[in-house]
């Protein structure tokens, strides 16, 4: 009798639902926020002071951030513009509204509170006043630095659209700059951050602004507060950017486009740092005034989860065999969003003991797309006990969306008789050309193209990988080049039996105006010819058995080289095929 072990995982679904209080478990999915911001400060006063004036940075009001009420309190009294305390609003050079509080003839220390009740929606677009200053060098943003300029174009050299360029910069910063709290209160200018590769949010945002301005995008440094994964609101910085036709909000520290509603905007700046308050005072004789640290305390009243990434996940093979060789489970996810997004995606499996039962090959990575994308998650299957059957849930979790999952079964069953195969027309291709490949199972690329047995796709601007999958996995890298010297096509005289000689041809088409010397190599034998227009190379070999069914030819001209491969489908009937099938059945029975 079979003993079935079922492994369970608890999934958190983030519906569109309002929560009155409580801790936010996934800030990336928050679409609405109701908070009270309390800014507290203290001014020490001694001597004959005539007037004290404080300029306080306050939460801004715009399309996404609405101020419901603001109250100014001084020494537990309402600052109502009638007594010794008055206030007004002023606007700085880039459009920020600030609160100016004035005290007349203070004779003792001042404690002041500014309470702002507000409602915030997910900030999907930039919202600041455009100005040439958002393209130029600024405090801590060295746009003209040669290293920063070179990096901006290096990161985006294979990007076509504005969104792809902005996403690539965001992704590069998140993956290449280490978040290091010891960098707080240190120099966070863009040049230093690039050199040290370590920073906190202010440095990420300074460098993001410098890189994006080099690409011609007006980019603002945004200072404020946001909800961290430590379960509290902290001082934070991010960016808003305008293109010629659109605009975006991005958080390169946490890997988000657009940013979630927990980001509370206090100031638009051309660069860091964030100054909370400034004070000036006047008086007579030997007087003294000191503005002590101003702190903000944020009370969460209500929030709404509103996912912006949706989709469905299904396993390519929902049953796998137990065995001693490395096998994989492959989860195929169709991700959808209304527009362009960048989000982190986490892959995880059910838990056995204290660890994941199936190990995700890539546990977490940044993904970006517009409208829809196919995403593949690969899990390594462990060696399991003989006679046992395992059921395990596998899932992906887009941080800006909801978890998606499917369930795999691992049990005693017959494994494929051959490993995964990939047959490609060549491993060098020009961007925009049609790329075709076949496999003895499922076939897919790292950018989302896929097919069952056959793949036909347009080559992207950069190198990519192709995977053949039948429970086993094979990886093939394809190089995208600016120029090709020749085209090649491999054809095999089929059908072929495993005990017969295999004959095949390689057609080479010269793409240059001049003749060139082209060499082919097959199983250690080289054939070199001078090709003017095109040439046919003939090959043959005697297979050592049914498993000897892959032909690969390497082709070279000067420094340019490529290869082409094909898997031959032997006809049943050869004596070697009969022997091989019997042998594999014995192996699977006694060693599987």
DSSP category for residue 178: E
pLDDT at residue number 388: 83
Q: Are residues 253 and 311 located together in one domain of the fold?
A: no
CA distance 119 to 36: 9
What are phi and psi for residue 95, nearest 5 degrees? Answer: 100, 5
- Kindly tell me if the per-residue pLDDT of 415 is higher than 90: no
Question: What is the average pLDDT value for the chain, to the nearest integer?
Answer: 89
The CATH number of whichever domain residue 341 belongs to comes to 2.60.40.3880
Q: Are residues 402 and 350 located together in one domain of the fold?
A: yes
pLDDT at residue number 19: 38
CA distance 72 to 65: 20
Q: Are residues 430 and 559 located together in one domain of the fold?
A: no
**Last residue of a domain, which of 287, 305, 323?**
305
Q: Are residues 294 and 179 located together in one domain of the fold?
A: yes
pLDDT-derived band of residue 3, with 50, 70 and 90 as boundaries?
A: very low
pLDDT at residue number 583: 54
Helix (H, G, I), strand (E, B) or coil at 236: strand
In a domain? residue 592: yes
Question: Considering only CA atoms, which of 33, 31, 12, 6 is closest in space to residue 22?
Answer: 33
Largest CA distance in the chain: 111
What are phi and psi for residue 482, nearest 5 degrees? Answer: -80, -35
The CATH number of whichever domain residue 200 belongs to comes to 3.10.620.30
- Kindly tell me if the per-residue pLDDT of 219 is higher than 90: yes
- Note the pLDDT tens digit of each residue in 448-458: 999 999 999 99
Q: Are residues 69 and 180 located together in one domain of the fold?
A: yes
What DSSP line would sit under 501-570, residue for residue? Answer: -EEEEEEEEE-SSS-EEEEEEETTEEEEEEESSEEEEEEEE--SSTT--EEEEEEEETTEEEEEEEE--E
pLDDT at residue number 18: 35
551 — alpha (psi -120 to 50), left (phi > 0) or beta? beta
**Last residue of a domain, which of 467, 484, 501?**
484
- Kindly tell me if the per-residue pLDDT of 7 is higher than 70: no
Which secondary structure element, helix H or strand E, spans residue 388, and what is its range? Answer: strand 388-398
Q: Are residues 376 and 421 located together in one domain of the fold?
A: no
pLDDT at residue number 592: 45
- Kindly tell me if the per-residue pLDDT of 331 is higher than 50: yes
Q: Are residues 316 and 284 located together in one domain of the fold?
A: no
In the chain, pLDDT over 90 holds for what percent of residues?
68
CA distance 316 to 467: 13
CA distance 15 to 373: 22
Q: Are residues 450 and 577 located together in one domain of the fold?
A: no
pLDDT at residue number 187: 81
- Out of 2-6, 245-249, 496-500, the most confident range is 245-249
Q: Are residues 59 and 193 located together in one domain of the fold?
A: yes
**Within 13 Å, how many C-alpha atoms sit on residue 235's CB side?**
18
Q: Are residues 54 and 71 located together in one domain of the fold?
A: yes
DSSP category for residue 220: E
CA distance 256 to 243: 18
pLDDT-derived band of residue 314, with 50, 70 and 90 as boundaries?
A: very high
- Note the pLDDT tens digit of each residue in 267-299: 999 999 888 999 999 999 999 999 987 899 999
CA distance 402 to 25: 12
CA distance 184 to 112: 27
In the chain, pLDDT over 70 holds for what percent of residues?
92
CA distance 186 to 188: 6
pLDDT at residue number 564: 84
Mean per-residue pLDDT, 99-126: 96
27 — alpha (psi -120 to 50), left (phi > 0) or beta? alpha
- Note the pLDDT tens digit of each residue in 564-589: 888 777 776 544 554 555 455 555 54
For the chain, state the CA radius of gyration. Answer: 32
Sign of the CA dihedral running 478, 483, 485, 491: positive
pLDDT at residue number 367: 97
pLDDT at residue number 12: 29
**Last residue of a domain, which of 411, 440, 472?**
411
Quickly list H helices, 20-120. none
DSSP category for residue 174: H
- Out of 313-322, 393-402, 485-494, 552-561, the most confident range is 393-402
Query: What b/e readout covers 376-415, taking b as 16+ CB neighbours within 10 angstroms?
Result: bbbbebbebeeeebbebbbbbbbbbbbbbbbebbbbeeeb
Q: Record the tokens describing residue 174, joined without a space.
A: 């998140």
Write the burial class of residue 170 (CB in 10 Å: 0-12 exposed, 13-18 middle, 19+ buried): buried
pLDDT at residue number 10: 27
Question: Considering only CA atoms, which of 400, 274, 379 is closest in space to residue 316?
Answer: 379
Q: CA dist 176 to 154, 248, 446, Å?
A: 14, 22, 20
Quickly list H helices, 144-293. 146-155, 162-176, 190-196, 201-214
pLDDT-derived band of residue 495, with 50, 70 and 90 as boundaries?
A: confident
Q: Record the tokens describing residue 572, joined without a space.
A: 């049943």
In a domain? residue 35: yes
What's the domain count of the chain?
A: 4
Residue 387's domain comprises 3-16+307-411
Q: Are residues 185 and 290 located together in one domain of the fold?
A: yes
Q: Which residue has tokens 């860091």?
A: 272
What DSSP line would sit under 296-343, residue for residue? Answer: EEEEEEEEEE---BEEEEEES-SEEE--SS-EEEEEEEEEEEEEEEEE
In a domain? residue 25: no
Q: Are residues 321 and 347 located together in one domain of the fold?
A: yes
Question: Beta strands 464-469 and 434-445: pairing type?
Answer: antiparallel
| Cα angle value 583/584/590 (rounded, 5°) | 95
pLDDT at residue number 579: 53
């Amino acid at each position: 009798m079979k003993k079935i072990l079922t492994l369970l995982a608890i999934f958190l679904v983030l519906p569109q639902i309002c929560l009155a209080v409580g801790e936010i478990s996934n800030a990336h999915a928050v679409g609405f926020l109701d908070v009270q911001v309390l800014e507290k400060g203290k001014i020490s006063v001694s001597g004959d002071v005539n007037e004290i004036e404080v300029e306080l940075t306050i939460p801004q009001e715009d399309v996404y951030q609405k101020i419901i009420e603001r109250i100014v309190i001084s020494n537990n009294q309402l600052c109502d513009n009638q007594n010794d305390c008055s206030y007004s609003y002023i606007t700085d050079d880039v459009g920020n509204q600030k609160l100016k509080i004035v005290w007349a003839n203070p004779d003792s220390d001042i404690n002041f509170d500014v309470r702002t009740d507000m409602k915030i929606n997910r900030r999907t677009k930039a919202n600041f006043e455009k100005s040439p200053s958002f393209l130029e060098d600024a405090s801590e943003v060295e746009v003209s630095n040669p290293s920063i300029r070179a990096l901006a174009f290096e990161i985006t050299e294979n990007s076509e659209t504005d969104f792809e360029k902005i996403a690539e910069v965001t992704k590069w910063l998140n993956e290449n700059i280490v978040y290091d709290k010891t960098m707080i209160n240190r120099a966070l200018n863009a040049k230093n951050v690039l050199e040290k590769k370590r920073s906190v949010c202010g440095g990420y945002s300074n460098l993001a602004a410098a890189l994006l301005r080099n690409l011609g995008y007006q980019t603002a440094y945004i200072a404020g507060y946001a909800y961290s994964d430590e379960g509290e609101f902290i001082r934070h910085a991010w960016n808003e950017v305008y293109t010629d036709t659109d605009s975006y909000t991005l958080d390169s520290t946490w890997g988000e486009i657009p940013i979630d509603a927990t980001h509370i905007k206090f100031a638009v700046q051309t660069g860091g740092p964030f100054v909370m308050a400034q004070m000036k005072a006047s008086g007579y004789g030997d007087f003294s005034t000191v503005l002590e640290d101003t702190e903000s305390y944020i009370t969460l009243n209500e929030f709404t989860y509103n996912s912006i990434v949706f989709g469905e996940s299904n396993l390519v093979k929902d049953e796998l065999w137990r065995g001693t060789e490395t096998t994989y489970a492959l989860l195929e996810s169709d991700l959808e969003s209304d527009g362009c997004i960048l989000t982190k995606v986490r892959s995880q499996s059910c838990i056995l003991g204290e660890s994941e039962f199936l190990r995700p090959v890539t546990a977490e990575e940044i993904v970006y797309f517009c409208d829809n994308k196919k995403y593949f998650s690969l899990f390594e299957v462990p060696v399991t006990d003989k006679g046992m059957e395992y059921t395990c849930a596998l899932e992906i979790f887009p941080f800006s969306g909801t978890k998606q999952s499917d369930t795999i079964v691992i049990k005693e069953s017959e494994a494929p008789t051959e490993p995964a195969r990939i047959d490609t027309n060549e491993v060098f291709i020009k961007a925009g050309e049609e790329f075709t490949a076949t496999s003895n199972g499922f076939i897919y690329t790292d950018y989302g193209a896929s097919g069952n047995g056959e793949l036909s796709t347009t080559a992207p601007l950069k190198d990519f990988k192709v995977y053949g999958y039948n429970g086993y996995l094979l990886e093939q890298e394809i190089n995208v080049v600016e120029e090709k010297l020749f085209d090649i096509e491999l054809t095999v005289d089929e059908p072929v039996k495993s005990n017969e000689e295999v004959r095949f041809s390689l057609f080479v088409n010269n793409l240059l105006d001049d003749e060139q010397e082209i060499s082919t190599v097959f199983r250690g034998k080289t054939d070199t010819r001078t090709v003017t227009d095109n040439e046919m190379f003939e090959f043959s070999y005697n297979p050592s058995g049914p498993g000897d069914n892959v032909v690969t030819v390497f082709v070279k001209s000067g420094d340019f080289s490529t290869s082409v491969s094909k898997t031959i489908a032997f006809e049943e009937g050869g004596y070697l095929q009969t022997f091989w099938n019997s042998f594999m059945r014995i192996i699977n029975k006694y060693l599987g």
